[in-house]
Amino acid sequence: MNVISNFFKSNTVRTILSYILIIVVVVLIRMFIFDPVRVDGTSMDTTLKSGEIMILNKIYYRKNDIKRFDIIVIDEGDRDLIKRVIGLPGETIAYRKNKLYINGEEISDPYPSTKTDDFRIESIGFTKIPNDSYFVMGDNRAVSADSRVSEIGVIKKSKIKGRAKLVIWPIKKFGFVK
């Protein structure tokens, strides 16, 4: 018994155990709370640039609703997509002459960095956004593969990994984005 007691009193063992504890805590935080995500591509220009690193908040939507214009991270299996929420469950979506229409009413959309081609949700086979699903777009509408493309379509809530609002790299862009 004395050997075991002396073993755990050793400085080397305590140092190793403290590093193991730190590693376990970091892994748990990354698995369940926050995770870095890298912007890949130009679909969110000019809001986000390719190569920027953001913090994904995995728990935000456990207590908060997903809102129009939130930036979210979507699990697409082999890759993550970073997009902006445009339409909410039960809504109709249309773009006409570069203007956003939700349920037939024009809504201010300050985020596009390029012209948005005319679009109606019916073009991807829906009359309205299904319950528990969201319509998403990139801010660089001219190049973004998003809900307007039938291969992506509306996004089920279960595929949303969380909200991304904080840029941490490069340092000069550190801060929250709209």
Q: In this structure, what DSSP letter does residue 130 have?
A: P
Alpha-carbon span 134 to 132, nearest angstrom: 7
Residue 83 bears catalytic tag: yes
Residue 147 bears catalytic tag: no
Among 10, 18, 43, 63, the active-site one is 43
Among 83, 133, 144, 161, the active-site one is 83
Q: Which residues pair with 35 in a beta bridge?
A: 56
Alpha-carbon span 15 to 22, nearest angstrom: 11
Burial status of residue 132 (CB atoms within 10 A of its CB: 0-12, 13-18, 19 or more): exposed
Q: Is 65 helix (H, G, I), strand (E, B) or coil?
A: coil
| Catalytically annotated residues | 43, 83
